[in-house]
Amino acid sequence: MNLETEFRLRVQLHQLERELCNSSAWTKEETCITCYPEIPAATWVRLTQRPTPFSSDEALILCQCAENQWIAWVPDYGEITLSASDVAGIG
């Protein structure tokens, strides 16, 4: 499988995951984090709160360091450790 095909498949999978989390089958209290407790590396997530007023409201997951904890990179901030409560959703 070439890189372009894999990228297209990842984008389609991401879109399906977002549709599932936004579907009426889930209550408002349930978020993508509770649907998908293991976030793979190289996934962008929305943050519940920015680390600084000047940083991005999204983070790129680098790796999982513990159960419900991830090392991530936030543009205009740097490396950060996130817990499940810090993540508003995937994408």
- Kindly give the confidence (pLDDT) of every residue in the chain, 91 residues in length, as a single tens digit, with 9 standing for 90 and above: 566 676 667 667 666 666 666 555 544 444 444 444 578 888 899 999 999 999 999 999 988 888 888 899 999 999 999 988 898 888 7
Quick one: how far is CA 49 from the chain centroid?
14
pLDDT at 20: 64
DSSP H or E stretch at residue 16: helix 3-22
Domain ranges within the chain, ordered by starting residue: 3-90
Q: In this structure, what token pair is assigned to residue 53? A: 């007023």
pLDDT at 31: 47
| HSE (side-chain half, CA atoms, 13 Å) at 8 | 4
Distance CA 60, CA 85 (A): 16
pLDDT at 41: 84
The CATH number corresponding to 3-90 among 2.60.40, 2.30.30, 3.30.1490, 2.70.50 equals 2.30.30
pLDDT at 9: 72
